[in-house]
Structure 1
Amino acid sequence: MSAKPRKPWRVILGPDVAPMTDHATAAEANTSARAALDGKSAQLAKVFEWRRGRWWLCETFHAHDIPQEPS
């Protein structure tokens, strides 16, 4: 089994955006995912947690589901 990473939460943006960021808590990961979608840098964000030796998908955010601030 692989060792647990220091930051066991991961956000992957998509579909055509490659950035991936690791976080120490679920709250940090969710905030990062929502910020990326609100900032229009991605259309999709997936949040994963490291459990039992592998990455597990915990949440998927879509840009059209994030409430936008009025301009």
Structure 2
Amino acid sequence: MTPVPRHDYRIGVPSDGSWHEILNTDAAIFGGSNMGNGGLCHAQHVPSHGEAQSLVLTLPPLSTLYFSPHPASPQGSSS
């Protein structure tokens, strides 16, 4: 938690695919500046922090971000 944003911060994640930003304490609804990752990030096949894939994030100042892996679509479903 620093008073400055961090751009292009890489963090390893345990699974491939999309990750939802489920909480951003810098969101406008909490009175923040609304800096973040647009609600969704996609894992890249770049190793980091002991994981085979990673996310590249924008870390807002003085805030906390929570991410959750996006569940895969069921096999055979049409969108």
TM-score (norm 1): 0.35
**Higher RCO, Cα 8 Å, sep 6+:** 2
Larger helix percent: 1
TM-score (norm 2): 0.32
